[in-house]
Amino acid sequence: MKFFVDSAEIDAIAELNDLGMVDGVTTNPSLILKSGRDILEVTKEICDLVDGPVSAEVVALEADDMIAEGRKLAEIAENITVKLPLTWDGLKACKVLSGEGKMVNVTLCFSANQALLAAKAGASFISPFIGRLDDMHIDGLELIEDIRTIYDNYGFETEILAASIRSVNHIQDCAKIGADVITSPPDVIKKLASHPLTDKGLDAFLKDWAKTGQKIL
């Protein structure tokens, strides 16, 4: 499974990247706002830091304008993935931009039908939102399962990029289902290393070690 970091914070991305935990990055207008940075500037900095795909999102609503913005964003670096909303105009833009050889991430997916359309339009990635469906008392993981089944049935190459990850359990379940990628805030990825029994065992080892009176260095 590939790990994408859902952030525009350079320091947080760099920390995980140094550990080999970053296969790509996703950003959106809300994350750009949170960073307080210029979109072109911070996106270029992320692209220079990370080797994998970096999603940069258009903000236009009409297909022609999305295409123009997508082309502008793609000029930032070779690893840019143009992020488009799953609307009819977004699908039109996806078809054009993917036809030009650009990577496209179709986002805000909430149904398997939408994911099917995105694959037909040539999307590199489809981003189903787990947490936002869970907020509506709809099983977001079931959507990942449905998309996986449909894509496998017909050999679509579009990668399932599970988004709106809220917990370590979301990541574990997506891995079991077979999502190609998860994109997650840095803190959730770091929590994957935590377990109370690890902490308890380490504490016991250290107490016993102290009783030996020994040192390694």
Beta strands (DSSP E) in the chain are: 2-6, 24-26, 54-57, 80-85, 103-109, 125-128, 159-162, 181-184
What are the catalytic residues? Answer: 83
Q: Any bridge partners for residue 82, and if so which?
A: 56, 104
Supply the pLDDT for residue 1.
Answer: 96
Instruction: Please give the model's pTM, rounded to 2 decimal places.
Output: 0.95
pLDDT values of the chain reduced to their tens digit, one per residue, 217 residues: 999 999 999 999 999 999 999 999 999 999 999 999 999 999 999 999 999 999 999 999 999 999 999 999 999 999 999 999 999 999 999 999 999 999 999 999 999 999 999 999 999 999 999 999 999 999 999 999 999 999 999 999 999 999 999 999 999 999 999 999 999 999 999 999 999 999 999 999 999 999 999 999 9
Tokens representing 148?
Answer: 């996986």
Alpha helices in 50-167 (DSSP H): 63-74, 88-99, 112-120, 130-135, 140-154
Supply the pLDDT for residue 33.
Answer: 96
Supply the pLDDT for residue 106.
Answer: 98
CB 105 within 8 A of CB 82: yes
Sign of CA dihedral 103, 90, 88, 131: positive
